[in-house]
Amino acid sequence: MSFLKDLQASINYIEENLEGKFDVAEAAAIAYVSKYHYQRMFQLLLGSSVGEYVRKRKMTLAAIDLKNPNEKVIDIALKYGYQSPESFSKAFKRIHGLNPSEVSKKGVSLLAYPKITFQIQIKGVKEMNYKVIRKEAFEVIGISKEFSTSDGENFQEIPKMWSNFNNSKDCEKLFNNSGKLGLLGICLDFDPENETMTYMIGVENTGELKDDRFVIREINEFNYAVFDVFGKMPIAMQEASKRVYSEWFPSTNYKHAEGPEIEVYLPGDPTDDNYKSQIWIPIIKD
């Protein structure tokens, strides 16, 4: 309950500063987590980056202001932190699909994004079995792509990346040269400020695979909390990640180590309801 109260308090802080100076580090401090953890948690639990949520809330309130004939676009733009009517109009059109000057027209439809609130739901207790493993630094080799985290775009596009990969020659080549962990999905280079992240499909680099089309990345040494995941991909993996942030972290004295998160895909049919995979989250003691 304390976790939800702290998280709600951070949302209240955001709401109170939509017209002022908003600091994501302060929001994270109110929730008693690191800035990195807060932004990662926000995106996983709410399907939106902090920045995207703030923009949508600002544009919701701006649309109400624009209904007032006495309000000027330049004044509203400045009110919500935009330095010019042009930058404000661009942001407004992205959310509502029309220019600020069109709001006063009869019959115009606008979107409204309400303030986030949290409620406690009583559910059947479902355990989360985990183990802590120390893994030394290692290299991975494979394919990678940068994705936007705005509006949960990464949740939609990464499964498409996997679909294309599974139907390519790269899949067989990497699988035949995989290490002990097998096929991996790696979330790294998480950049909350620019709302981007890199996702890599690869394997441990054994040095035997030579192909200039593949990229090689080094994963630093970390302690990992390793969770078994059961169910059809990608839904089971996405739901497990949400539970780690909403249930496991708040109930333990661990915090995110701000390193890559690793998905381990074990042999089997990932479309099967009983398929087993793993998620590795880098951790440190709080």
Which amino acid is it at 132?
V
Residue range 48-79, pLDDT digits in tens: 889 889 999 999 999 999 988 888 999 999 99
Mean pLDDT over residues 6-23, rounded? 90
Q: What is the chain's mean pLDDT, rounded?
A: 89
How far, in Å, are 22, 137, 200, 257 from residue 278 at the CA level?
A: 37, 19, 16, 18
What does the block give as tokens for 31?
A: 């929730």
Percent of the chain whose predicted confidence (pLDDT) is above 70: 96
pLDDT confidence bin for 129, thresholds 50/70/90? confident
Mean pLDDT over residues 148-174, rounded? 89
**What residue segments make up the domains of the chain, in order of their start?**
2-102, 130-285
Whether 202 contacts 142, CB under 8 Å:
yes
> Which homologous superfamily does the CATH classification assign to the domain defined by 2-102?
Homeodomain-like (1.10.10.60)
Mean pLDDT over residues 70-95, rounded? 91
- For the domain spanning 130-285, the CATH number is 3.20.80.10
Beta bridge partners of 144: 200
Residue 286 has pLDDT above 80, yes or no: no
Mean pLDDT over residues 94-116, rounded? 84
pTM, two decimal places: 0.84
pLDDT confidence bin for 1, thresholds 50/70/90? low
- Report the distance separating Cα 186 and Cα 197, nearest Å: 10
Residue 109's pLDDT is what? 81
- Of 109 and 65, the structure prediction assigns the larger pLDDT to 65
Residue range 215-245, pLDDT digits in tens: 999 999 999 999 999 999 999 999 999 899 8
Mean pLDDT over residues 73-94, rounded? 91
Residue 104's pLDDT is what? 79
Backbone angles phi and psi of 190, in degrees to 5: -70, 120
- Report the distance separating Cα 250 and Cα 242, nearest Å: 12
Whether 232 contacts 274, CB under 8 Å:
no
What does the block give as tokens for 105?
A: 């027209």
Residue 230's pLDDT is what? 94
What does the block give as tokens for 132?
A: 């802590």
Buried b (16+ CB within 10 A) or exposed e, 63-94: bebbeeeeeebeebbebbbbeebeebbebbee
pLDDT confidence bin for 122, thresholds 50/70/90? very low
Backbone angles phi and psi of 110, in degrees to 5: -125, 155
Q: DSSP characters for 248-264? A: IHHHSSEEE-SS-EEEE
Name the 3-class secondary structure at 141: strand
Residue 22's pLDDT is what? 84
Pick from 174, 162, 145, 169: which is nearest to 233 by CA? 162
H helical segments located in the chain: 2-16, 24-30, 35-46, 50-66, 73-79, 85-96, 153-166, 169-175, 235-243, 249-251
Residue 118's pLDDT is what? 65
- Report the distance separating Cα 245 and Cα 251, nearest Å: 10
Mean pLDDT over residues 205-218, rounded? 88
- Report the distance separating Cα 38 and Cα 15, nearest Å: 16
